[in-house]
Amino acid sequence: MDDNTVLQHIGELANEELELEESHAGEALSKDKLARLHTIEVELDQCWDLLRQRRARRSAGQDPNEATTRPEVVVEEYLQ
């Protein structure tokens, strides 16, 4: 997956997140939609982390394609 593909996926996820949030403004989300929202948030964090890894590897003269998607337990512990 190259940087542009990661960025495109981030955009798609962000749009879906926004649609979920806007479609239920002021209303509680169903259990399924809350679960989907959580999945989107985790996947967004993973994508941003992957993009940062790729850029750092490239900057260090390493192969950006060796960057890997880190598990939820790792990316969700980062300080914002």
Domain contains 9: yes
Domain contains 30: yes
What is the rounded end-to-end Cα distance, in angstroms, of the chain? 25
Domain contains 49: yes
Contact yes or no for 56/5 (Cβ under 8 A): no
Domain contains 80: no
Domain contains 21: yes
Contact yes or no for 31/21 (Cβ under 8 A): no
Number of domains the chain contains: 1
In sequence order, the 6+-apart residues with CB closer than 8 A to the CB of 6 are 47, 50, 51, 54
Instruction: For residue 20, give its domain range.
Output: 3-75
pLDDT in tens, 19-52: 998 887 778 888 999 999 999 999 999 999 999 9
Task: Say whether pTM exceeds 0.85.
Answer: yes
Q: Average pLDDT of 1-19? A: 95
